[in-house]
């Protein structure tokens, strides 16, 4: 019988299914299969930096998406520029409560929670501090991940726009583009969040004792 901790040290080649024993690799090094030369794994620290850069870019574009005009509407010759928050208020005024609540959760709460907690997690893992907090963040993110449904964000945004169409003429603003950009980044980010690797990295950084 192979014990679980011994299993962690083994890796199977995705192509030829040869079993390899994992060895420690240095920064920017890669491990290849000895049979078919396929990439098995690469240096973790590099991944942390790339993800951190991605999450910072996503925060900036999310900020632009919230701060600037998402749509300009024309009501009886009056031009009005709306931010995401103002768009939400318009939905509430027109008694679009179901769309409004969907909008609030999928567009405000989940993306912000995911981007903010991913940033904190990667930042503290990078500076190798707050082992207990990062452990909690990993658990939180595992719960939030299923809620990062980019396609649903986009559909709910379109629904909100269509609902507004019968009251006004709509012109798309800079925040709309920033918002779509954020969604794409968010999708790449959540796809890239490999919890198995993150937990492994966590125990490598903080050791077995997590209260540090
Ligand atoms: Zn192989």
Predicted confidence (pLDDT) per residue in 179-191, tens digit? 888 878 887 887 7
Q: What is the dihedral of CA 12, 18, 21, 26, to 10 degrees?
A: -80
Distance CA 59, CA 102 (A): 21
Ligand 1 centre to CA of 197 (Å) is 20
Q: Which backbone phi and psi does 145 adopt, to 5 degrees? A: -50, -45
∠ CA 35-38-44, nearest 5°, is: 125
Q: Are 117 and 144 in contact (CB under 8 A)?
A: yes
Q: Tell me which of 32 and 46 has the higher pLDDT.
A: 32
- 212 pLDDT band, cuts 50/70/90, is very low
Residue 208's Cβ-side half-sphere holds a number of Cα atoms within 13 Å equal to: 1
Ligand 1 centre to CA of 198 (Å) is 24
Q: What separation in angstroms does the CA of 123 have from each of 49, 117, 183, 202, 208?
A: 9, 10, 21, 12, 20
pLDDT at 101 (0 to 100): 81
Ligand 1 centre to CA of 7 (Å) is 18
pTM of the predicted model as reported, rounded to 2 decimal places: 0.67
Find the length of the chain.
212
Span 85-96, average pLDDT: 79
Ligand 1 centre to CA of 32 (Å) is 8
Span 87-104, average pLDDT: 78
- 156 pLDDT band, cuts 50/70/90, is low
């Amino acid at each position: 019988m192979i014990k679980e901790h011994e299993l962690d040290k083994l890796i199977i080649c995705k192509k030829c299914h040869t079993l390899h024993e994992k060895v420690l690799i240095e920064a920017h090094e890669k491990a290849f299969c000895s049979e078919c030369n396929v990439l098995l794994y690469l240096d973790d620290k590099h991944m942390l930096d790339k993800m951190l850069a991605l999450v910072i870019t996503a925060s900036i574009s999310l900020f632009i998406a919230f701060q600037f005009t998402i749509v300009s509407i024309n009501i009886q010759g009056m031009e009005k520029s709306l931010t995401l928050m103002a768009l939400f208020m318009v939905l509430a005024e027109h008694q679009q409560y179901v769309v409004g609540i969907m909008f609030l959760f999928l567009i405000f709460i989940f993306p912000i929670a995911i981007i903010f907690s991913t940033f904190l997690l990667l930042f503290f893992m990078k500076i190798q501090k707050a082992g207990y907090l990062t452990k909690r963040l990993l658990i939180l993110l595992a719960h939030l991940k299923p809620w990062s449904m980019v396609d649903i964000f986009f559909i709910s945004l379109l629904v909100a726009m269509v609902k507004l169409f019968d009251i006004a003429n709509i012109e798309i603003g800079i925040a709309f583009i920033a918002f779509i950009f954020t969604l794409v980044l968010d999708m790449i980010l959540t796809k890239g969040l490999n919890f198995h690797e993150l937990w492994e990295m966590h125990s490598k950084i903080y050791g077995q004792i997590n209260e540090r």
